[in-house]
Structure 1
């Protein structure tokens, strides 16, 4: 079978992989209906539908609000793995600089299976530390909100169904570009978090600044929002390099 609509090579020697590669290539140009996938790829409609559903179960494909198929979050996550070493290599100096500038602990979190994982940190001496490798749920807090706010709708709403915040709160996070929380882990500790964006603009991590209210105030974004966002941008540039 020939596929005149696609010039990219799709010959792995394994038929089903060739067909999956064709389908993904169609979606590289943006969301597509099943009919468009069939026309562009040359796949039969039953084959295209079966492959699309299988790839959706693997999170390699997802759907937009109109039900069209599009590239899924797992592809971005795999790209992050490739580029993540550069981000983590820079994280130590970026987090330490943010800590020294603000007098509060700076940390970097990534999504893990069903939760959030601390992957780097610069702690303020004498305060309770969060060791690298510590995992938390995504039920509450500024970091959880940032890690969920830009997710695909089905992931976002599944997360909200188990969380102490609402979908409306995540809408506000997307609008502002940051989240803050008070008293999640300690009644006197406030946290400000901003997204770190990797390949394709996908949110790949959350950078947080946490400290007691006397240090950061109850509205830390007013004074420290710019510094946190700038640090997150630096880490994002490293992951996209």
Structure 2
């Protein structure tokens, strides 16, 4: 792994350059304070002061293990930056998919090593805290069917890098390409099932992932078999009728 150093920063504004180094490390996923120090080359007191300030600004947050992650405010900024025709046209498609399946329906875009929820139509009633992914939330790309769909059709050289530390492998992604959807049982949260399919843009390139999720008790232990076709059909509508394979 290449270690970033303060000398690589180019803006000339010291505090911004240092904050940028920290955010750059976290683009690759959660990191402890010690790792942020080692990867940036910054002094520990400086890193500690900056991460606390960035956390107060909601530019950083912490995961369940206390590691630093990109914060919800960055997800909201990313959502605004990529707000386009796809996002604006997603709500009715998500609503119909929710009505068909009874599950929460969401649209995700990839941003570096993160997947950002850019549109959501929640399931009726209270989905419970484990199945809440608000618009603007940024999650790592190392687990779950959404990540698998966003990565399955990537170039082999980029895919090799993305699979480092992932909870799935190349064989898993081969299966996703073959069937056109991905599924998980408890992949992101215990007791939650999910199914995702690719949304394609011009030239057939995967530009987003459409997913549904809900309790395993309602979606069963084989959600892909039950709902894969419905999710693919909805993704095709957002793709403008493009092929999903």
- TM-score by length of structure 1 reads 0.63
What is the alpha-carbon distance in structure 1 between the residues aligned to residue 119 and residue 158 of structure 2? 25
Aligned length: 159
User: What secondary structure does 1:116 align onto?
Assistant: strand
**1:89 and 2:88 equivalent?**
yes
What is the alpha-carbon distance in structure 1 between the residues aligned to residue 112 and residue 190 of structure 2? 27
Contact 1:87 1:238 in 2 (8 A): no
Q: Which residue of 1 aligns with 2:126?
A: 126
Aligned-residue CA RMSD in angstroms? 2.1
Contact 2:143 2:188 in 1 (8 A): no
How many angstroms does 1:162 deviate by? 2.2
Contact 1:90 1:238 in 2 (8 A): no
Q: Describe how 1:214-229 pairs up with structure 2 within 5 A.
A: 214-229=217-232
5+ residue gaps, structure 1, are 1-80
**1:103 and 2:106 equivalent?**
no
Contact 1:182 1:190 in 2 (8 A): yes
How many angstroms does 1:185 deviate by? 2.4
Q: Which residue of 2 aligns with 1:139?
A: 142
How many angstroms does 1:194 deviate by? 0.3
- TM-score by length of structure 2 reads 0.62
Contact 1:189 1:211 in 2 (8 A): yes
What is the alpha-carbon distance in structure 1 between the residues aligned to residue 91 and residue 220 of structure 2? 25
- Report Cα offsets for 1:75-120 as digits up to 9, x if no partner: xxxxxx9x96221121011001111111100000010021100000
5+ residue gaps, structure 2, are 1-79
Q: Which residue of 2 aligns with 1:162?
A: 165
Contact 1:91 1:235 in 2 (8 A): yes
Q: Which residue of 1 aligns with 2:185?
A: 182
Q: Could you list the structure 1 runs, at least 4 aligned residues long, displaced by more than 6 angstroms after superposition.
A: none
